[in-house]
C-alpha cells in the first residue's frame, strides 16, 4: 500500500486560508424550532473541464450526498455520505498510463457555494479514494469520499448548495509500487460552460414555513439543453450564481468549534480583529458576530529578532510506516524560515520566478520536531510503543519555482531537509526498554531526489504544487499560505540502540526501517511581521506566532 | 449576459475585449455637466466576478471585494462624480490569493471616480478610478501601488468595470519582493463592481448644454 489508509479527515481551510467553512453561520443563530427531518438524496452529474497534462479535457463529475430534507433555523445541516466521482475520459487515463502508472490514488477538493437569500459562503468538500487500477485504455472512475463541514443558518428560507471548482490530486504508482515521475499530479477542474445554471447540487428548506412549497429537493442537472443558462435548476429553488461571480454578502462566520477552524476563545486576539474605518464597508469581519477566535494549542513558534523576510509556520501530517501497514502522525511542529528574494529566470517555457528560503525546525530551542509516539507490532505480534523525534542534520531548504505563464501561474516547491529519526524510548508489551541516548537512524531519511547531482546526500524531499489559473484563486501548496507537501521516505537502519547490553538495533530496523514510506505533511499559513496590515484571515497571533495550526490530512 | 459575466469572472485575459465593447463610441462633444442620480448618492459596491491585480505576470486574485462611496452631480471634464471612501479586498474565509501566497491589500482612500465621456445611446460613462493607493503584502514581499485605473460605468447595470492598462498604476515602493515586484513595475487592475444606492442603481448622465 502506497498511500495512507483512508479515514476521517479534516477540512483544509482553503489552501489559502480557507478555513471557510467547516461550519458556516449565515446569520445569527435563532432558537431552533422542531422540524421533521427526512433524508434528501442529492445526486448531480455535471460536466466539468479539467486541466490535465495533455490539455483541458471534459470530465463528468458526479456528486452525491445525504442531507436533511428540512431543518429549523439554527439547526445544523450535516451532509453525510458525500461522494465525488470523477469520470476521467480515456484521454486523461492515457496521461496516467504514459507515466507508467498501474494504480492511482485520488484526493478531491470540491468547492461548494452555500447561498441563502443574499447570503453566501463557501465550503470545501474533501474526499479521498482507495488506490484503483489504471486501465490500459478506456475511462476511469475515481470515487472519493470524506467527512465534510456542517452548515448552520439562523434564517429561514431555501439554502442552496452549488458545485464549484474541483481540485484533484492524483498519486500514481507503478506496478512495483514505486512512484512515477512526477510523483503526483494536481488537476484543477471547473464546471464546463454547459453546466451553467445546472450546478445546484441540493436545496434544503430552512424553517418550518419556508418559501419552498415542497420539502428539500435534490437538484439534479436540469434537463435543459446545453447553453441555456436561464434554465432554473429546479422549481421553487432560487437560482444561485457561482460563488465566484456573485456579490459577497457578509456576515459569513466560521464556527470556532468546527474542525479546521480556530479553537476556543480566550487566547490573544489576532491582529486585524479590529479593523480601521477604511477597511471597507461590510467586510465579513466587521459585521460578523465576534472576531476570529484564538488558535488551538501548538508549540511555541516565535522568530527571535525577526526581519521582514522571516516567516514562521506550523506543519503536521502523516508518515506511513510501510512495514507496519499503518501511518504515524508527526505532530504539529514549528518551522522558522528566512525567505530569500525572488529572482527571474528566462527559460524556453517562459519566465520562472525562483525563490529559495531556508529554515529550521524549532522545538524548545532545538532543531527538531516535538517528541511523538508511534505504536506498532514488532514481528507482527508484540505491541511496541516508541517515542520518537525527528532531528535536523542540516537546514530545511525550500525552493519555489513559479512559471509565469500569464494568465496562469504554476508553482512547484521542493522542501529538502536531512532528518534523523531518533528513538527516545521503547515499550514492548508495556515493558520499558532503555534504548540509550544515541538510538537513531544511522543516516538521515532519504527520498527519491529528482536532481541528485544538485542536491547530493541523504535528505527527505517533499513536493508541493500550487497554481493560479485564469484569475481564479490560487490553490495547492504555496510557501507563504501553506498546503500539502508529499513525498516518500526511506527509513535507514537504526544504530546505537541498546538496552541492558542487549542490542535493539536489529529489532527496530526490522520493525521500522525500509523504503517507500509515503509522507504527507500539511503546512499552515505563515506568519510574518509584515502582517500588521489588517487581514480578513489572521496570519499571526498578537505575539507573532502562526495563527493557523494545520491538521493532518490523509 | 449571465454567461458573458461568468466568462469575465474567470478569464482575466478576456476582460479588455469585454470592456472595449462596453465602452462604445465616445460622444462627439465632451460632456461638461454630469448628473448623478440620486444626488447626492450614498453608494455601496460589491464585486461581480474576481478582482485581479497583476504584476509582472503574477496574478493576485480576490474573489470577494466590496466598498462604499459617494456620488454627486458636478461640472467639468474630466469631472470627479464620486469617491470611493472605503474598499476591502478579501473577506473572512476568502482572502486574496496568488502563487506567492495569501495577499493582503490595504487601500488608502478616498479614491476618485472620474468621468470623461458619456454615450447617451448606451448609458455608459467612460473614465477612470483615480487616486488609487494601496499597500499590498504577500508573505515577505510588500509593495505600494499608486495611480489610476481606466473604468466604465454602465447605468443599466450599475457596473463599474475597472480595467487598467499598463502604465496607469505604478509600484512606488517595494521590499522583499526582489525581481518579482520591483519599484517602477506597472501593475494592472481588473474587476467589476456593482453599485447600489439604497435599493436602486445610481446613474451618471453626461451632457453638454
ipTM associated with this complex: 0.75
What is the predicted pLDDT for the residue at A136? 84
Average pLDDT estimate for A518-534: 83
Residues 90-149 of A with CB under 8 A from B: 121-122
Q: Which of A230, A411, A533 sits opposite B99 (nearest CB)?
A: A411
Say yes or no for a CB contact (<8 Å) between A252 and B141: no
3-state secondary structure chain B: CHHHHHHHHHCHHHHHHHHHHHHCCCCCCCCCEEEEECCCEEEEEEECCCEEEEECCEEEEECCEEEEEEECCEECCCEEEEEEEEEEECECCECEEECCCCEEEEECCCEEEEEEEEECCCCEEEEEEEEEEEEEEECCEEEEEEEEEEEEEECCCCEEEEECCCCCEEEEEEECCCCCCCCCCCCEEEEEEEEEECCECCEEEEECC
| Whether residue B133 has pLDDT greater than 90 | yes
Is A534 near chain B, with CB under 8 Å? Answer: yes
| Whether residue B17 has pLDDT greater than 90 | no
Local structure of A58: helix, strand or coil: strand
Distance from the Cα of residue A220 to its chain's centroid:
28
- Which residue is associated with the grid cell 491589500? B105
What is the number of other CB atoms lying within 10 angstroms of the CB of residue A430? 8
What is the predicted pLDDT for the residue at A488? 96
A75 versus B145: the higher-pLDDT residue is B145
Say yes or no for a CB contact (<8 Å) between B93 and A284: yes
What is the predicted pLDDT for the residue at B12? 30
What is the predicted pLDDT for the residue at B191? 96
What is the predicted pLDDT for the residue at B24? 37
Closest CA to A399 of A383, A415, A388, A386: A415
Cell output for A310: 522571516
Average pLDDT estimate for A250-257: 28
Which helix (H) or strand (E) covers residue A96, if one does?
helix A90-97
End-to-end CA distance of chain B: 34
A225 versus A164: the higher-pLDDT residue is A164
CA distances A509 to A236, A392, A473, A497, A513, Å, are: 64, 20, 45, 10, 5
Closest CA to A416 of A388, A370, A457, A364: A457
Average pLDDT estimate for A278-295: 39
Q: Which of B49, B56, B176 sits opposite A309 (nearest CB)?
A: B176
CA distances A191 to A44, A217, A396, B6, B10, Å, are: 12, 21, 39, 11, 11
Q: Which of A311, A351, A475 sits opposite B140 (nearest CB)?
A: A311
Per-residue pLDDT tens over the stretch A173-224: 888 777 777 777 777 788 887 887 788 888 888 876 533 333 444 433 332 3
Is B196 near chain A, with CB under 8 Å? Answer: no
A383 versus A424: the higher-pLDDT residue is A424
Alpha-carbon gap: B14 to the closest alpha carbon of chain A (Å): 10
A324 versus A528: the higher-pLDDT residue is A528
- Which residue is associated with the grid cell 527520498? A447
| Whether residue A260 has pLDDT greater than 90 | no
Say yes or no for a CB contact (<8 Å) between B101 and A479: yes
The length of chain B in residues reads 209
Does residue A301 contact residue A323 with C-beta atoms inside 8 Å?
A: no
**Residues 6 or more apart whose Cβ sits within 8 Å of residue A176:** none
Confidence (pTM): 0.59
Range scoring the smallest mean pLDDT among A36-45, A483-492, B66-75, B90-99:
A36-45
Largest CA distance in chain B: 54
What is the predicted pLDDT for the residue at A320? 86
Question: Sheet harboring B33-37: ordered strands across?
Answer: B74-75, B33-37, B203-207
Domain assignments of chain B as residue spans, ordered by start: 2-200
Per the prediction, chain A carries an average pLDDT of: 74
Per-residue pLDDT tens over the stretch A352-395: 999 999 999 999 999 999 999 888 766 656 777 889 999 999 99
Say yes or no for a CB contact (<8 Å) between A533 and B177: no
In the beta sheet, which residues pair with residue A311?
A337
Per-residue pLDDT tens over the stretch A46-71: 888 887 777 778 888 989 998 888 88
Say yes or no for a CB contact (<8 Å) between A410 and B99: yes
Per-residue pLDDT tens over the stretch B102-122: 898 999 999 999 999 999 999
Alpha-carbon gap: A468 to the closest alpha carbon of chain B (Å): 6
Say yes or no for a CB contact (<8 Å) between A283 and B66: yes
Per-residue pLDDT tens over the stretch A101-127: 888 888 888 888 877 776 666 677 878
Domain assignments of chain A as residue spans, ordered by start: 23-259, 343-519
Among A94-98, A153-157, A416-420, B96-100, top mean pLDDT goes to A416-420
Per-residue pLDDT tens over the stretch A437-485: 899 999 999 999 999 999 999 999 999 999 999 889 999 999 999 999 9
Closest CA to A242 of B189, B154, B63: B63
What is the predicted pLDDT for the residue at A532? 60
Which helix (H) or strand (E) covers residue A502, if one does?
strand A502-503
**Cα A261 from Cα A252, distance rounded (Å):** 13
If you count residue pairs, one on A and one on B, with CB atoms under 8 Å apart, how many are there? 252
Cell output for A371: 517528541
What is the predicted pLDDT for the residue at A308? 85
Residues 40-99 of B with CB under 8 A from A: 44, 46-50, 52, 54, 56-59, 61, 63-68, 85-95, 97-99
| Whether residue B136 has pLDDT greater than 90 | yes
Amino acid at each position: 500500500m502506497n498511500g495512507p489508509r483512508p479515514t476521517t479527515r479534516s477540512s483544509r481551510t482553503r489552501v489559502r486560508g480557507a478555513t471557510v467553512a467547516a461550519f458556516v453561520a449565515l446569520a445569527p443563530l435563532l432558537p431552533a424550532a422542531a422540524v421533521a427531518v427526512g433524508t434528501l438524496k442529492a445526486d448531480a452529474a455535471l460536466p466539468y473541464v479539467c486541466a490535465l497534462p495533455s490539455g483541458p479535457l471534459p470530465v463528468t463529475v458526479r456528486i452525491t450526498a445525504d442531507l436533511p430534507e428540512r431543518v429549523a433555523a439554527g439547526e445544523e445541516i450535516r451532509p453525510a455520505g458525500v461522494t465525488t466521482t470523477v469520470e476521467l475520459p480515456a484521454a486523461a487515463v492515457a496521461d496516467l498510463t504514459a507515466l507508467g502508472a498501474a494504480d492511482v490514488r485520488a484526493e478531491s477538493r470540491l468547492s461548494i457555494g452555500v447561498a441563502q437569500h443574499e447570503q453566501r459562503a463557501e465550503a470545501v468538500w474533501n474526499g479521498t479514494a482507495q488506490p484503483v487500477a489504471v486501465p490500459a485504455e478506456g475511462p476511469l472512475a475515481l470515487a472519493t469520499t470524506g467527512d465534510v463541514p456542517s452548515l448552520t443558518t439562523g434564517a429561514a428560507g431555501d439554502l442552496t448548495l452549488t458545485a464549484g471548482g474541483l481540485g484533484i490530486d492524483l498519486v500514481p504508482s507503478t506496478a512495483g509500487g514505486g512512484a512515477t515521475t512526477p510523483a503526483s499530479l494536481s488537476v484543477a477542474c471547473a464546471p464546463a460552460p454547459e453546466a451553467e445554471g445546472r450546478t445546484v447540487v441540493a436545496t434544503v428548506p430552512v424553517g418550518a414555513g419556508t418559501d419552498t412549497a415542497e420539502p428539500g429537493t435534490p437538484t439534479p442537472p436540469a434537463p435543459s439543453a446545453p447553453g441555456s443558462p436561464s434554465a432554473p435548476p429546479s422549481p421553487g429553488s432560487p437560482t444561485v450564481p457561482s460563488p465566484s461571480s456573485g456579490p459577497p454578502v457578509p456576515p459569513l462566520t466560521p464556527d470556532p468549534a468546527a474542525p479546521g477552524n480556530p479553537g476556543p476563545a480566550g487566547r490573544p486576539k489576532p491582529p486585524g480583529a479590529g479593523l480601521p474605518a477604511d477597511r471597507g464597508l461590510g467586510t465579513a469581519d466587521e459585521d460578523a458576530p465576534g472576531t476570529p477566535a484564538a488558535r488551538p494549542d501548538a508549540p511555541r513558534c516565535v522568530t527571535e529578532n525577526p526581519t521582514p523576510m522571516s516567516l514562521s509556520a506550523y506543519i503536521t501530517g502523516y508518515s506511513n510506516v510501510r512495514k507496519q501497514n499503518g501511518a504515524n502522525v508527526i505532530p504539529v511542529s514549528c518551522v522558522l524560515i528566512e525567505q530569500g528574494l525572488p529572482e527571474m529566470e528566462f527559460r524556453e517555457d517562459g519566465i520562472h520566478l525562483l525563490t529559495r528560503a531556508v529554515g529550521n525546525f524549532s522545538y524548545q530551542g532545538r532543531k527538531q520536531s516535538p517528541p511523538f509516539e508511534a505504536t506498532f507490532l514488532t514481528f507482527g505480534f508484540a505491541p511496541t510503543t516508541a517515542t520518537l523525534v525527528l532531528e535536523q542534520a542540516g537546514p530545511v531548504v525550500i525552493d519555489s519555482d513559479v512559471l509565469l505563464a500569464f494568465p496562469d501561474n504554476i508553482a512547484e516547491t521542493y522542501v529538502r531537509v536531512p532528518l534523523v529519526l531518533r528513538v527516545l524510548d521503547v515499550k514492548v508489551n508495556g515493558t520499558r526498554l532503555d534504548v540509550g541516548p544515541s538510538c537513531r537512524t544511522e543516516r538521515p531519511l532519504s527520498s527519491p531526489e529528482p536532481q541528485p547531482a544538485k542536491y547530493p546526500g541523504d535528505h527527505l524531499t517533499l513536493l508541493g504544487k500550487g497554481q493560479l489559473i485564469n484569475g481564479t484563486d490560487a490553490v495547492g501548496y504555496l510557501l507563504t499560505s501553506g498546503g500539502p507537501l508529499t513525498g516518500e521516505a526511506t527509513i535507514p537502519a537504526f544504530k546505537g540502540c541498546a538496552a541492558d547490553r542487549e542490542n535493539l538495533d536489529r529489532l527496530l530496523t526490522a520493525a521500522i526501517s525500509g523504503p517507500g514510506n509515503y509522507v504527507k505533511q500539511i503546512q499552515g499559513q505563515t506568519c510574518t511581521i509584515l502582517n500588521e496590515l489588517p487581514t480578513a484571515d489572521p496570519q499571526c497571533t498578537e505575539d507573532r506566532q502562526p495563527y493557523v495550526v494545520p491538521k493532518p490530512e490523509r | 449576459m449571465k454567461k458573458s459575466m461568468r466568462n469575465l469572472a474567470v478569464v482575466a485575459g478576456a476582460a479588455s475585449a469585454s470592456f472595449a465593447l462596453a465602452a462604445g463610441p465616445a460622444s462627439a462633444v465632451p460632456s461638461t455637466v454630469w448628473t448623478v442620480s440620486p444626488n447626492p448618492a450614498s453608494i455601496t459596491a460589491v464585486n461581480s466576478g474576481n478582482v485581479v491585480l497583476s504584476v509582472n505576470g503574477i496574478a493576485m486574485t480576490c474573489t470577494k471585494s466590496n466598498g462604499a462611496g459617494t456620488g454627486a452631480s458636478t461640472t467639468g471634464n474630466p469631472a470627479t462624480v464620486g469617491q470611493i471612501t472605503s474598499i476591502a479586498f478579501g473577506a473572512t474565509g476568502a482572502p486574496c490569493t496568488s502563487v506567492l501566497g495569501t495577499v493582503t491589500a490595504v487601500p488608502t482612500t478616498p479614491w476618485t471616480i472620474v468621468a470623461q465621456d458619456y454615450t447617451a445611446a448606451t448609458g455608459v460613462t467612460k473614465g477612470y478610478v483615480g487616486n488609487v493607493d494601496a499597500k499590498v503584502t504577500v508573505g515577505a514581499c510588500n509593495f505600494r501601488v499608486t495611480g489610476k485605473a481606466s473604468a466604465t460605468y454602465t447605468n443599466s447595470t450599475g457596473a463599474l468595470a475597472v480595467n487598467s492598462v499598463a502604465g496607469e498604476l505604478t509600484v512606488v515602493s517595494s521590499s522583499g519582493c526582489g525581481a518579482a515586484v520591483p519599484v517602477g513595475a506597472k501593475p494592472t487592475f481588473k474587476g467589476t463592481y456593482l453599485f447600489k444606492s439604497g435599493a436602486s442603481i445610481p446613474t451618471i448622465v453626461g451632457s453638454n448644454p
